[in-house]
């Protein structure tokens, strides 16, 4: 299990499509079969779910997505999923 985050944002359909393209274009580091990736990111109804397996930084490896949020002035908040579960 890694460090889990929820990046909450209200996204328009065009923004969701653009973010999905950015996620699909993320470089995939080669890894051994069965090994966990460095980062898992999923587009959800409420924004993004991010699991960082190596670092407790929600935007690590997702700079293009973070830059898009900033450029498009998308209001968002980052929550530690573990804190939400408590």
Among residues 67, 61, 81, which one has the least CA distance to residue 7?
81
pLDDT one-digit tens code per residue, 7-29 = 999 999 999 999 999 999 887 65
Q: Which two tokens stand for residue 36?
A: 């966990």
pLDDT on residue 53: 84
pLDDT one-digit tens code per residue, 35-86 = 556 788 999 999 999 999 888 999 988 999 999 999 999 999 999 987 765 4
Q: Which residues are within 8 A (CB) of 53 and not within 5 positions of it... i.e. 6 or more apart?
A: 2, 3, 36, 37, 38, 39, 40
pLDDT on residue 86: 45
């Amino acid at each position: 299990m890694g460090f889990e985050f929820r990046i909450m944002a209200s996204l328009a359909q065009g923004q969701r499509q653009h973010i999905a393209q950015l996620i699909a274009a993320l470089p995939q580091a080669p890894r051994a079969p069965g090994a966990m990736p460095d980062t898992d990111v999923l587009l959800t109804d409420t924004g993004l779910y991010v699991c960082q397996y190596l670092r407790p930084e929600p935007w690590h490896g997702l700079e293009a997505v973070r830059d898009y949020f900033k450029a498009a002035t998308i209001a968002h908040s980052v929550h530690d999923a573990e804190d939400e579960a408590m």
